[in-house]
Each structure stands twice: as structure tokens, then as C-alpha cells.
Structure 1
Amino acid sequence: MNQVITALAALVAIATILTAPAYAQTSGDSDADSMMMIPEGTIVYAGSLLPLTGVYSSVGVQVNAATVLAVEHFNEYLSAKDAGWELVLFQENTASNPVIALEKAQALHSRGADIIFGPAGSSRVKHISGYVNDNNMILLSCCSTSTEMAIADDRVFRVVADDANQGKAFGIILANDGIEVVVPYWRVDSYGDSLRNAAVSEFEARNGTYDEGVSYNPDVREFSVSIDALARIVQGYVDSHGADKVAIVVVAYDEIVSIMQAADSYPVLKEVRWYGSETLAQNPFIVKDRIANDFAIEAEFAAIQVPLGDGPRAQNVTDALSVPFGGTPNAFAYNAYDAVWLAGLSIERTGSTDPADIAATLPSVAANYTGGALSSTALNEFGDLAAAIYGTWHINATDGNWYVDSVISIDDESVVPFE
């Protein structure tokens, strides 16, 4: 309940602090001369389907706020052009639960909201994708990265690169840091399995060795048994290779705090380095918990995630969200912001509110849009973000803030300091 209150309070704060810029036509926006017109007075309904509570709420509340912000900005863009129509957003909470996500998707469809922004996690996207495809809907997710959902010609668009790329980023940074053995520790779901497999495969391709590792059920909240098993495995590799050559790759959501609390009882787990999934970068619960924060610093915890958006509208997102959320917004907020613009500009381009028409033109709009929070929104053949650059996120031991230490390029496999 406190998380819901926090999320709602943040949205109220955005409304009070925001002085939205006036939006002129920018590169990638629709060309009025080539568009059909949407009838005067039309209201286009959409829904945000995001985790405002549950194990991924640390990200969910921020990307929901970014979605609300983008709808406000897009409507101001339409008003400045006297477009005569507007986008109205219904907000639903998935509670980080796939079953609830489907129920809420059905509820949105019944209310005429066939454009969905979200869900945030791949297991939720997977659970509702069939319903979306079968009911002439369209889904734009800011945060789902499982390779299992990289499907061509469906109605799921993901404004984020998939785990094949993040797996490469893990392989590159682990090899760059001189790691010889990786022990994965991950949640068993579409996202966890996908990223774990991609990471160890890419590490092995760079002459690394990996253990099968330890997995856990996403529904558990007590980690002493699995962490004990992890510690015993890690100890064996430390004895044979040395602590500086062994690393743990963890794929988790907000349960990472409980995981680190359990791991803190095992000295060997603080001797090796921990590398975390994108879902853990900028996690506010780690830095707020003394044990987890101290553990992350001692274990040199590095989370692999895209750097912050650096497109023309990125600063608008940063300015609007940094105050209510107490610091730099989560990187996924910038992806969520652009997802709204891609949908809105596709509606404008086609002059149609039919999701089939929107889906048909969205890849073209995304390929040419250069006015957003991201530097590029071009999509690949699966409808996922094509650009793939990652950063290593660390916690500053002095002030407790997250920062990007280095940038990992997928194309040339370089690792360079972040500037």
C-alpha cells in the first residue's frame, strides 16, 4: 500500500512541478501533408499496465510516471497543432503478477483501451501477448527483454534491446574484468532463464567457464537454503581459481535486498564480485537497506543496464521525475516515455485508431523518429529496439548514489569509461 501511495504522490508532484515545453515539429514527427486526419473530438484510449506494487515496483512506479508525463506532453503537442483529438490514459497495476496482468489487460480492452504501455517484465508480457494478438490490440513495453519474446510480426513492440544483447554485454564485461569462472544465481521465469542462458553462453564463447549455478522460485521470499548452496559452490571455485577470478551473475528483481541480506552471512560471497541484471540498476531498496548497501559495495556489485537516455527530450524526463523520485530516474523511464510518442505519432501518421493500422506503421515511425528521450528508437525485425549500448552501474560508497562507471559497446566489444 505504501508503494501505491508513493507512486500516486509522485504523479501529483509531477503535475505540480512540471512546466512542459512547447513542442514544435521535430525530426521524425508526422508530416501533415502525408497524413489522413482523425475526426475532430476523437478520444483515443490507452492503458498503462505496470507494477506499482510487488517485486518490480521500484521500476514500475517510475516508468508509469514517465508514461503519464509522455501522454501529457503528447497531448500538448496535439493541442499546439490544433489536431482536434487527444490521448487518454487509464492506469492499471499488475502487482508484478502475470495473472493479474492478464486480468487488467482484459479490463482495459473492455474499456476501449487497445493500446497498452507495459507490462514491465517479460513473464507478464508473455502471459498477455496471446490475448493482445487475438483481440486486435497493440502492446509497447519499455522493459521486457527476454529473447523468448523476440517474435516477428506480432503485436508486441519492445522499446528496449533484448537479452541476446545484454548477454553479450555480460560476456564482454566479465572477460574484460579478468573473470575466469561464473556462478549464476537467478529467478526461474521467462526473463531469468533467458538472461542467465545468454550471459553464460556469451561468457563461454569468450573462453570463460561457468557453473550450472543455483536458481530460485520467484514466489519464495526466504533465500537461506539457496544462498547456502551458492556459497558452497563459490567456495570451491575460490579455492581452485582465487576470489579475484570468480564472479556471481544474479538475475533478480526487488527481492535482491533479501538475497543480499542472506548472502551477507557468508564471507566468501563478499570476496567475489557480483554482476547484476538490468532490473537491479538504480534499485532504491538496495541503497536504503544498510546490510544490502554495505554488501553491494564490498562485493563491488555492478548492474548491467542501458545508460540514461540522451535524446532531445531526455532532459524533460529527467527534470520532471528527479524531484518526486529523489534523484536520477531509472533508465527505463526514458524508454517508456518514447513508447507513448511512437504510438501517438503512428496514430497521427495513419489517421486511424485501429491497432492494426498503428502496428503496421509504427516500425517506420520508430526508424525515423529522432526527437525523443532516446537517441534512437529504430526497431529490429522482431519489433525490439535495435540500439544496444550498456553501462555498468555501481553504488558510490561515499554518498550512496548510483552512477555509471563504464560503457559496454556490443558492436566493437569495447569497455570504456563513462563520460
Structure 2
Amino acid sequence: MIAPLAALALAASACGGGDSESEPSGSESSDSSGSESESADSGETFEAADCANGSTSADTFKVGSILPLTGNLAFLGPPEIAGVGLAVADVNSAGGAAGNDACFLSTDSGDTTDNSVGNGSANQLVDAQVSIAVGAAASGVTENIIGTFTDNEIVQISPANTATSLSGASDYYFRTAPPDTIQGGALGDLLIQDGRQRVAFIVFNDPYGTGLRNVVQQTVEDQGAEVVYGAEGDGDEFPPGQTTFSSEVTAALAAEPDAIVILAFDETASIIPELEAQGWDNANSYFSDGNLADYSDSFDPGVLEGAKGTLPGADAPDEFRDRVSSWYEDVEGSALDDFSYAAESYDAVILAALAATRGEGTDPNTIRENMRAVSGSEEGSEECTTYEECVALLEDGTEIQYRGPSGIGPINEDNDPSSAFIGIYQFDGDNVNQFQGAIEATSDEASQ
């Protein structure tokens, strides 16, 4: 049973949607050179921290990323890359991790339409002997590459995977995004709060899509609503990468729903026009983190006005957003206009650096053994909010609970966040998602 989350308190939060085509940096080189410029927002300057040739996790806190530079989640690449890059910069400015400098090696995860991209990048990070691999963004990509990292005993930390099937999937796999037992409950409760009683799903056949659908379905059915199309076991899912949706939309509308939940990535840009062409009012459509983006340049004004959606994550403070955007502008040449999963990416690196510091080693096994402890799993842990502050406590022999901009609680025995925030958004007349409120819930509450 998925416990209703409606009674939980709303907290202030905000996150913009957007798209950026900038290609993140982070290749191995003979030195740690990088561009440097004055940051207009944060007042700081940042430069790339490329990994030197021959460096390994034995002598460097070597951060690899496997995040979407191409494919149907490429819009998430810039904020995630920026979060990783800023964290590496903060680790270095505080003296490194376990006495070693930090560096950053970026690779492309691609998407599930071409597994060769993610496979090649995973092998590249293994060969580079990284301390951690941050990514992937898509749960389906992670399911394809998790064995590579596990077999080679490299810690993988995803800032965006939410598929329930990944809970406890490997001793070497962690995530700073909450599983869909939390987001699915929030999205299902949102439907019920809005009075929806006949729900249809247009969902792709992907672990993320079907896993989230299953939780939302259970949540709404437990509260008396009916799933009239796209239910678990009905076989209505479409394959990732599909570009035309006439038959799916026709079948969904024939079931006479009062709400349609779209669980997809880039395919959403083709689904929305088809729904509109067949007479559906998209104010009755619902989105999730995989497609909750800025559509102001994609559709005519008003097409999505009133539509709602959910996005895991707390409201990152303005100071953090200024700094992470400044890092991307300094290193990549453009400011961020989307901050999705930037905080979770940042916290993935900081947690790993603190684990290395606590265990006095930047190798993957030392990090793995100390991840839960620095997240607050130890009794009597003292809360700290910056890397520098947390390191000082560790050096004094104090157990810590790092509480970063993502707002997640301690890592549990499944290597998932034990608690997290889910933001609620609504599209305005310009087809831009605007924050309405946030629900904080624990994984225990969501699985009862």
C-alpha cells in the first residue's frame, strides 16, 4: 500500500525548466588547465579540474560522470554536469579529499535507444580507474551499465535515477534522488486532490516509466479512482524513441479519462500536439521529472496552461543556484536556465568526498564503506551543510550527517535516500512550469 502524502506539510521551493545544448568538459589531460572568467552572479571564478593522464583513485579523488550529453535526456546534462563540477571545485578549495586533489572526467551516457554509448563510457571510466561514477540520469541506462561498475568495484552514484527496481540493486550503487515509491505517491495524491477519478497513462516501456506508472496506479486505485487506459499488465506501453502517437492517443481518449499522465522523455514533444489535435484539453495532463521542462519554445502559448507535474528535489537556495550557474558559465561558456538535479549531482560528489575523508582513502571501496555513515546513518551524528564544515567535524572525530542542497535524509540500507522532497509544479500561459509547493516524505512512509 502506498501511504497518501497529502497530509504532509508543503514547503517553499522553486526550480525552473529549460534546455541547454552546451557540451560539458572534463577530459583527461596532462595538467589541470581550464578557462577562468569573472562570474557575474556569485562573485567567484571557477576553472575546469581536468584529470591528469595516469591519475587513478589511488592518488586522486577522481570523479567520473556518465551523464546525458546526447539523447532524449540531454536537457538534464548541463545542470547535472554543473553540480558535479561545482562540487569538485569546492572539494579542492577545502584542501581535497583524504589529502588528495579532486579532478573531473566527463563522459556521455546517451539513452536507451543506443546502449553502445553508455557501455562505451562505462568502460572508459573503468579504464580510467575513477573513484566514483556519477550517473546515469536514466534508470534504463543504469540498468544496462550497473553490472560494469559493480564487477569492477567502482562506486556508482546516480543523481536522477528513480526506478524502484534499482533499490538495493548493488552494494556499489547509490543514489541521491528518491525512488519512485516517493514521487509516485506524490503524483497519485495530486491526481486525487484534483478530483481525478478516471486516469489514463501514456507511458513508454522503460523501467522508469513503467515503475513510476505502477506506483501512481496503486496510489490512485487505493483511493477509489480507476485507471481506464495504460494500466499495468494491459500492454499499452510504447517503445522509447517512438515519434508518432495517433493510435495511443486515440485509444486513451476512447476510454474517456478525466486525466492523462504522460510518462516519457523527448517523446512528450510529439504526444502533446497529438492530444491537442484530437481535442484533448492539456490542462488535464500530468507530467513527471522525465518531461517536466520548459516548453515555451515548443508549443503555442496556452497549450499546456494548467497542466501539472512533479519533480523530485528540494528548493536549492538562490546562492547555490547562482554558484552552480556561474561554474557552468565560467567553464562551459553559458549560464544555466535549468537546475533539475543540479543539487543531487552536487551532493553525490560531496558525500563521496566525505566518505573518502572519513575512511582516509579515495579508492572506491573506502568510499563505499563510508557513504552511509557520512549521510547520517550513525547514531548521534551532527548535522553539517558544507564540505568544509563537515570535514572539520570528521577531523575532530565527530560522526556527521551531511545535509546538502538536495535536502535528502540519510542513505538507508537499500542505498536510497531515506527521505526527500517532491516539488509540485503547474504550467503557465507561456508553457513554463511554475513551482506550487513541495512535499517531504520518507521512503518508509511511501512503502507502508
**2:93 is equivalent to residue 76 of structure 1:** yes
- Aligned mates of 1:198, 1:173 — CA distance in 2: 13
Conserved 8 A contact 1:14-1:320: no
Per-residue CA deviation, residues 381-417 of structure 1 (Å, 9 max, x unaligned), is 211112232222122326x543211333546xxxxxx
Q: Which residue of 2 aligns with 1:151?
A: 168
Shift of 1:320: 2.8
- Aligned mates of 2:167, 2:407 — CA distance in 1: 22
**2:233 is equivalent to residue 260 of structure 1:** no
**SS in structure 1 of the partner of residue 348 of structure 2:** helix
Q: Which residue of 2 aligns with 1:302?
A: 308
- Aligned mates of 2:35, 2:272 — CA distance in 1: 32
Query: How many pairs were matched up?
Result: 373
Per-residue CA deviation, residues 196-245 of structure 1 (Å, 9 max, x unaligned), is 11110111111111124242110222223322322323xx34xxxxxxxx
Per-residue CA deviation, residues 142-191 of structure 1 (Å, 9 max, x unaligned), is 00000000116521101011011111112211111111111011110111
Shift of 1:61: 2.3
Conserved 8 A contact 2:285-2:307: yes
Shift of 1:119: 0.5
Shift of 1:315: 4.6
- Aligned mates of 2:43, 2:101 — CA distance in 1: 19
Conserved 8 A contact 2:73-2:265: yes
Q: Which residue of 2 aligns with 1:280?
A: 291
Distance of aligned partners of 1:359 and 1:15 in 2 relative to their CA distance in 1, 3 Å threshold: farther
Conserved 8 A contact 1:312-1:371: no
What TM-score does the superposition give when structure 1 sets the normalisation length? 0.80
Alignment of 1:6-405 (within 5 A): 6-8=22-24, 16-17=38-39, 19-20=43-44, 42-78=59-95, 84-97=99-112, 98-151=115-168, 154-213=171-230, 214-233=236-255, 236-237=256-257, 246-267=258-279, 269-270=280-281, 273-281=284-292, 283-284=293-294, 286-291=295-300, 294-297=302-305, 300-310=306-316, 314-315=320-321, 317=323, 320=326, 329-367=338-376, 368-370=400-402, 372-397=404-429, 401-405=432-436
Identity %: 23
Distance of aligned partners of 1:322 and 1:93 in 2 relative to their CA distance in 1, 3 Å threshold: closer
Q: Which residue of 2 aligns with 1:36?
A: none
Conserved 8 A contact 1:342-1:362: yes
**SS in structure 2 of the partner of residue 279 of structure 1:** coil
Per-residue CA deviation, residues 113-139 of structure 1 (Å, 9 max, x unaligned), is 241000001001111111111111110
**SS in structure 1 of the partner of residue 254 of structure 2:** helix
What TM-score does the superposition give when structure 2 sets the normalisation length? 0.75
Shift of 1:254: 2.3
Conserved 8 A contact 1:312-1:373: no
Per-residue CA deviation, residues 27-47 of structure 1 (Å, 9 max, x unaligned), is xxxxxxxxxxxx9x9323221
Greater shift in the superposed pair: 182-191 or 386-395: 386-395
Shift of 1:336: 0.5
Conserved 8 A contact 2:355-2:371: yes
Conserved 8 A contact 2:249-2:274: yes
**SS in structure 1 of the partner of residue 412 of structure 2:** coil
Conserved 8 A contact 2:289-2:312: yes
**SS in structure 1 of the partner of residue 84 of structure 2:** helix
Conserved 8 A contact 1:165-1:410: yes
- Aligned mates of 2:35, 2:432 — CA distance in 1: 22
Distance of aligned partners of 1:15 and 1:133 in 2 relative to their CA distance in 1, 3 Å threshold: farther
**SS in structure 1 of the partner of residue 168 of structure 2:** coil
The structure whose RCO (Cα within 8 Å, separation 6+) is larger is 2
Moved over 3 A (4+): 12-16, 18-22, 307-319, 321-329, 368-371, 408-411
Conserved 8 A contact 2:82-2:328: no
Conserved 8 A contact 1:305-1:390: yes
| Aligned match for 2:437, one of 391, 396, 406 | 406
Per-residue CA deviation, residues 275-302 of structure 1 (Å, 9 max, x unaligned), is 1112222x13x221124x53211xx211
- Aligned mates of 1:266, 1:302 — CA distance in 2: 20
Conserved 8 A contact 1:173-1:408: no
Q: Which residue of 1 aligns with 2:49?
A: none
Conserved 8 A contact 2:282-2:307: no
Shift of 1:13: 9.1
> AA paired with 2:407?
S
Conserved 8 A contact 2:304-2:428: no
Conserved 8 A contact 1:313-1:371: no
Greater shift in the superposed pair: 341-350 or 152-161: 152-161
Return the structure number with greater helix share: 1
Unmatched tracts of structure 1, length 5 or more: 23-38, 238-245, 412-419
